[in-house]
Amino acid sequence: MAEPELLLDSNIRLWVVLPIVFITFLVGVIRHYVSILLQSDKKLTLEQVSDSQVLIRSRILRENGKYIPKQSFLMRKFYFNNQEDGFFKNTKRKVVPPSPMTDPSMLTDMMKGNVTNVLPMILIGGWINWTFSGFVTTKVPFPLTLRFKPMLQQGIELLSLDASWVSSASWYFLNVFGLRSMYSLILGQDNGADQSRIMQEQMSGAAMAMPADTNKAFKAEWEALELTDHQWALENIEEELMSRELDLDGMFSKELPMGIF
Amino acid sequence: MASVSEMYDVTWEEMRDKLRKWREDNHRNSEQIVDVGEELINEHASKLGDDIWIIYEQVMIAALDCSRDDLAWTCLQELKRQFPGSQRVKRLAGMRLEALEKYEDANKQYDSILQDDPTNTAARKRKISILKAQGKSAEAIRELNEYLEQFVGDQGAWHELSELYINEHDYGKAAFCLEELMMTNPHNHLYCEQYAEVKYTQGGLENLELSRKYFAQALKLNNRNMRALFGLYMSASHIAASPKVNATVEKANVKYATWATNQINRAYQLAGRGTKENKCSVKAVEEMLESITMS
């Protein structure tokens, strides 16, 4: 069934659609620079740096231990996992769960995050709703159910209007998310205007709580290292090497690099 | 005196890119950096934009190497003006004091950096280099050990420590450091070769066997490592010549040594086909190999 197509005034396109795009984009850029200004330095403690490196070393031992002699591997494994004084057995770190109440810097960080991101979105969304109200802005290319009408068609009191026709507020929200790739093009990766990334971080931040897990990380490494065996990669190296002649191609080239350039 | 750009007929962009390449590859060709960098700074400073600050840093360190105190001072002044209170610049100021052998002042400088930021690795490493420069190797070793206890992942530091131990003839500990490096860089043939050399120097049947294996590994990683090839030959022939080995081991090692000899000869044949000088060196190698086998 062919739907009656609405023809929108092209003025809408000129004076509504494009300005909203510009406004969203500029606000995003401003947000990015403001977030840089307000950024607080994250100071890592010596202990955190040291611990992360120890974990890396243990992992390397597990993965590449086969390149060192058996004795050396066992010596290091003993150092880490020994029952009485192994590093992973003995080192307990003081664990402070980073909840907003105990850690004042986290609190200010959260507040700054809210101020720079959520607040402008609400303010500008409301302003656009108020300014560009009373008419339909654009049509989304897929059909929507009637439930979406009150949400996307604020200010347009038409019961029979297809829910695909949306108001300017929803066009604004579409832009906020859509311009993300534009931001990464212009501001580079990791920019402060990236709304959805920040919201993702807020959601996964609760699951990630990183310093609290040093003890758990140590325990996990201990287990993994216990299970690792030493398979010396150099067992039959001579046979492998001498099975064929050395490849001496290109070893003696006539041209030597002269000078700097 | 002709400038670099005149001598090689290059533009300032090429000079700047060359400096960047040296920076990324961590080259220490200080004289060349000073030549190219000085001209870039003097003639083309305005065109470089913000690149100039990192070029200042690179040229300053090269100037300290070449004892060009005037150039180092200029670079430092510019950096201080642009980045007052920066720890990176403070470290450069400390390095200049080190170059002038004012070790006390340099130490104070680094201590002040560490007060602000205890995790600053650069300052700690500079303090250790001061100890090394003053010849206090025992202290330097101790400090470096403490540093490595906290920053286990610093490969440059491990290498430095292995060098210090070798100078003190403590080959066991040097081997430990090299093992760390081999684990983190399993494809680097140079670490394998150095490890094998340390093991060879330690001596004893077990260590000779290990050294032979690691020379072989170095060769496997890089077929053209002549030093490893010679090392393989020497360790295999030493094991074969040792009175303590049984017949099978001796036979195997003689086989390895012969193979190594063949490869060495092949390499020398390839080295300069037809040139008169090469004929002499091929003969010299052959004689040398025979003489080692005899003894």
Measured between beta carbons, the chain B residues lying within 8 angstroms of A50 are 149-152
Would A91 be classed as within a structural domain? Answer: no
Q: With 0-12 CB in 10 A as exposed, 13-18 as middle and 19+ as buried, what is B226?
A: middle
Mutate to test the interface with A, among B16, B119, B146, B189 (most CBs of A within 10 A): B119
B221–chain A nearest CA distance, Å: 10
CB-CB under 8 Å, A238 with B212: yes
Give the lowest-confidence range in A4-13, B53-62, B165-174, B216-225. A4-13
Q: Measured between CB atoms, does A61 come within 8 Å of chain B?
A: yes
Q: Measured between CB atoms, does B128 come within 8 Å of chain A?
A: no
Q: Measured between CB atoms, does A114 come within 8 Å of chain B?
A: no
Which pLDDT score, from 0 to 100, does residue A1 have? 37
Among partner residues A44, A68, A234, which is closest to B119 by beta-carbon distance? A44
Q: How many Å from the N-terminal Cα to the C-terminal Cα in chain A? A: 72
Residues B182 and B184: their CA atoms lie apart, in Å, by 6
Mean pLDDT of A104-128: 74
Exposure class string for A140-169: b at 16+ Cβ within 10 A, else e: beeeeeeeebeebbeebeeeeebbbbbbbb
CB-CB under 8 Å, A248 with B4: no
Provide the pLDDT confidence category of residue A74 given band limits of 50, 70 and 90: very high
Among partner residues B7, B210, B270, which is closest to A252 by beta-carbon distance? B270
* B133 Cβ neighbours under 8 A, 6+ residues apart: B98, B103
Would A20 be classed as within a structural domain? Answer: yes
- Whether A259 shows a pLDDT value over 50: the answer reads yes
Strand A165-166 relative to strand A138-139, pairing: antiparallel
Give the lowest-confidence range in A75-89, A195-209, A211-225, A228-242. A195-209
Would A215 be classed as within a structural domain? Answer: no
pLDDT tens, residue by residue, A192-225: 555 555 555 555 443 334 445 788 888 888 889 8
CB-CB under 8 Å, B259 with A49: no
Residues A64 and A59: their CA atoms lie apart, in Å, by 8
Size of interface A-B (CB pairs under 8 A): 97
Residues B207 and B233: their CA atoms lie apart, in Å, by 15
Which pLDDT score, from 0 to 100, does residue A209 have? 40
Handedness of CA B266, B271, B276, B281 (dihedral sign): negative
Helix (H) or strand (E) segment spanning residue A138: strand A138-139
The residue among A96, A78, A237, A255 whose CA lies nearest residue B196 is A237
Q: Measured between CB atoms, does A238 come within 8 Å of chain B?
A: yes
CA of residue A75 relative to chain centroid, distance: 39
Would A136 be classed as within a structural domain? Answer: yes
- Whether A104 shows a pLDDT value over 50: the answer reads yes
* CA nearest to B114 within chain A: A46
Measured between beta carbons, the chain A residues lying within 8 angstroms of B194 are none
* CA nearest to A50 within chain B: B150
Q: Measured between CB atoms, does A69 come within 8 Å of chain B?
A: yes
Among partner residues A44, A53, A234, which is closest to B152 by beta-carbon distance? A53
- Whether B14 shows a pLDDT value over 70: the answer reads yes
CATH architecture group of domain B1-116: Alpha Horseshoe (1.25)
Among partner residues A49, A64, A67, which is closest to B119 by beta-carbon distance? A49
CB-CB under 8 Å, A72 with B119: no
Q: What is the pTM of this model?
A: 0.75
CB-CB under 8 Å, B270 with A251: yes
Would A80 be classed as within a structural domain? Answer: no
Domain total for chain A? 1
Measured between beta carbons, the chain B residues lying within 8 angstroms of A68 are 179, 182-183
CA angle A201, A206, A208 (to 5 degrees): 80
Residue A139 φ/ψ, nearest 5 degrees: -120, 130
Q: Measured between CB atoms, does A60 come within 8 Å of chain B?
A: yes
Q: Measured between CB atoms, does B204 come within 8 Å of chain A?
A: no
Residues B239 and B252: their CA atoms lie apart, in Å, by 10
ipTM, interface predicted TM-score of the complex: 0.83
Would A260 be classed as within a structural domain? Answer: no
- Whether B274 shows a pLDDT value over 80: the answer reads no
Among partner residues A60, A237, A251, which is closest to B217 by beta-carbon distance? A237
Helix (H) or strand (E) segment spanning residue B124: helix B121-133
Mean pLDDT of A35-53: 77
Ordered by start, the domain boundaries in chain B are: 1-116
A242–chain B nearest CA distance, Å: 7
Would A51 be classed as within a structural domain? Answer: no
CB-CB under 8 Å, B217 with A238: no
- Whether B179 shows a pLDDT value over 90: the answer reads yes
Q: Measured between CB atoms, does A246 come within 8 Å of chain B?
A: yes
Provide the pLDDT confidence category of residue B177 given band limits of 50, 70 and 90: very high
Q: With 0-12 CB in 10 A as exposed, 13-18 as middle and 19+ as buried, what is A223?
A: exposed
Provide the pLDDT confidence category of residue A163 given band limits of 50, 70 and 90: confident
Mutate to test the interface with B, among A43, A67, A253 (most CBs of B within 10 A): A67
The range of the structural domain enclosing residue A21 comes to 14-35+109-198
Mutate to test the interface with A, among B117, B152, B162, B180 (most CBs of A within 10 A): B152
Q: Which residue has the higher pLDDT, A258 or B97?
A: B97
Would A139 be classed as within a structural domain? Answer: yes
Q: Measured between CB atoms, does B179 come within 8 Å of chain A?
A: yes
CB-CB under 8 Å, B153 with A57: yes
CB-CB under 8 Å, B210 with A69: yes
Q: Measured between CB atoms, does B116 come within 8 Å of chain A?
A: no
Q: Measured between CB atoms, does B183 come within 8 Å of chain A?
A: yes
Q: Measured between CB atoms, does B271 come within 8 Å of chain A?
A: yes
